[in-house]
Amino acid sequence: MKRSIKMNSPEWIKYIGVLLIIIFASCSQKPTQIINNPIIDGYYADPSVVQHNDTFFIYATIDPWGGEELGVFTTTDFIHFNQQQINWPTKKQCTSPTSRSAKVWAPSVVKAPDKLFYMYVSVGSEVWAGVAEHPLGPWKNAKDDASPLIKGDFIPGFHMIDAECFVDDDNRAYLYWGSGWDWVNGKCFVVELNKDMITFKTDPLDVTPDNYFEAPFMIKRNDVYYLMYSNGKAIDATYNVRYATSDSPMGPFSEASNSPVLKTSSDSTIYGPGHHAVFKYNHQDYILYHRIYPQKERYVLRQLCIDSLNFDENGFIKKINPKGVGKFTE
């Protein structure tokens, strides 16, 4: 026999109260937002990202193969983006007697110990350095004579591009750069920078790890230095992200046994991923990279993507799951 509950009984009042609590709790929960890849409409590559206050500033190559300037975006959640424009670098401003025809490529932006922002960018197959008080500038050449930081013929036989700056816990700064020609013989060079962030404290060292071609990026975890980089051809499915480790930012570096950590997927939904940046937010590491948008033209078009970057209990970087990430901010 069923037991009925009178609407004015204590049991009924208790039942209604519990029901209201459940309803209010479910209504107060924010819907989970998914950051889908690619994160930005359009075709961009070689991203760099820096956080200033609550805003992330993304700088990238404009495809195909660079433009007269950089692509620049701001975001607070990696879902909504605002396109920006900065005054430097441009192909016109960054041309020297040793420049080649290559346009504006591959920026690296960092906040230095002096609280200024520094950019290291490839223009004309050589590295130029800029400085600004704010991520959106105004920017200017960091060298008084407006010359390149690393000339195209600085180390003959190798491609002077893809510079990436790393500031260590002790505020010492290091610059990594280098690639090869015609998809072969890539070299990675490193130099410690003086406090002015543009002069070399040491002579450059060749610290090329196994299976390196270009796009070095340095991170540090638990006193281990992880030199991440790209290998393969940036024009096809062979492009991938690898890493090597050392107990010093100046190497020598040994490639990890589980490298590469990001490559073309079996179903080709991720195709030719590489040339990345890594950043941390809310104690989580993220990798920002480009992937190729396959098409039949003679040039490549690339798209910006983001995924989580994680470490296992032995300090190895885990294989990256290229599915995008969940809600980025709380």
- Per CATH, the number for 43-309 is 2.115.10.20
Per-domain residue ranges for the chain? Answer: 43-309
- Helix, strand, coil distribution of the chain in percent, nearest 5: 5, 40, 55
AA identity, residue 309: L
**Alpha helices of the chain — where are they, by DSSP H?**
10-28
Q: pLDDT tens digits, residue range 55-83?
A: 999 999 999 999 999 999 999 999 999 99
Measured CA to CA, the distance from residue 199 to residue 194 in angstroms comes to 6
Instruction: List all residues 6 or more positions away from 255 whose beta carbon is below 8 Å from its beta carbon.
Output: 209, 210, 211, 242, 243, 244
How wide is the angle at C-alpha 322 spanned by C-alphas 182 and 237, nearest 5°?
Answer: 25
Length of the chain counted residue by residue: 330
Tokens 């409409």 belong to residue? 41
In sign, the C-alpha dihedral spanning 295, 299, 304, 309 is positive
Tokens 């893809």 belong to residue? 162
Measured CA to CA, the distance from residue 276 to residue 184 in angstroms comes to 20
List active site positions: 46, 214
Q: Rounded to a whole number, what is the largest CA-CA distance in the chain?
A: 97
Tell me the pTM.
0.89
Q: pLDDT tens digits, residue range 107-162?
A: 999 999 999 999 999 999 999 999 999 999 999 999 999 999 999 999 999 999 99
Are 70 and 90 in contact by the 8 Å Cβ rule? The answer is no
- HSE-up (13 A, CA, CB side) for residue 214: 24
**Core vs surface per residue 52-83: b (16+ CB within 10 A) or e:** eeeebbbbbbbbebbbebbbbbbbeebeebee
pLDDT in tens, the chain (330 residues): 445 545 555 555 555 554 544 444 444 344 456 788 999 999 999 999 999 999 999 999 999 999 999 999 999 999 999 999 999 999 999 999 999 999 999 999 999 999 999 999 999 999 999 999 999 999 999 999 999 999 999 999 999 999 999 999 999 999 999 999 999 999 999 999 999 999 999 999 999 999 999 999 999 999 999 999 999 999 999 999 999 999 999 999 999 999 999 999 988 889 999 999 999 998 899 999 999 998 877 789 999 999 999 999 999 999 998 887 876 644
The three-state secondary structure class of 16 is helix
The torsion angles phi and psi of 26, rounded to 5 degrees, stand at -70, -35
Are 166 and 176 in contact by the 8 Å Cβ rule? The answer is yes
Measured CA to CA, the distance from residue 254 to residue 246 in angstroms comes to 7
Are 188 and 231 in contact by the 8 Å Cβ rule? The answer is no
